[in-house]
Amino acid sequence: MIKIYHNPRCKKSREGLAILEDSGQDFEIIKYLDDAPAKEELKSILDKLKISPVELVRTQEKIWKENFKGRSLSDSEVLDALHAYPKLIERPIVVNGQKAAIGRPPEKIKGIL
């Protein structure tokens, strides 16, 4: 089943959701701000995206700037931060089987449907 890690307050996330709705395929909406993904789930997403944990971070968020910017963090520490502060997770993320895409721009989602 296709999953979208969605933040309803984010314009790009809403655009990504619209792409999924228009596709006619079944999908699951995960409101990751309400239920932060576990570290293992984040690792699985990163493997599918083929990126490192820090590449999933919204580095312009106040939380990142105040708590983590300029620090040398291990991948595990970045994953801890993403779990503790899910607002730091880039959005939207769509996972379809073994493929995933960050919907920035939202059209990237079409490439994995």
Task: Give residue 29's pLDDT.
Answer: 98
Q: What is the mean pLDDT of residues 63-71?
A: 96
Summarised one tens digit per residue, pLDDT across range 23-50 is: 999 999 999 999 999 999 999 999 999 9
In the chain the domains, ranked by start, together with CATH numbers, are: 2-112 (3.40.30.10)
Buried b (16+ CB within 10 A) or exposed e, 53-65: beebbeeebeebe
Q: What's the pLDDT at 71?
A: 94
109-112, long-range: CB < 8 A, 24+ apart:
109/16, 109/19, 109/20, 110/19
Q: Kindly state the percentage of the chain with pLDDT values over 90.
A: 100
Q: Is 10 one of the catalytic residues?
A: yes
What's the pTM value of the predicted model, to 2 decimals? 0.94
Catalytic option among 2, 4, 7, 10: 10
List all residues 6 or more positions away from 56 whose beta carbon is below 8 Å from its beta carbon.
Answer: 42, 45, 46, 49, 82, 89, 90, 102
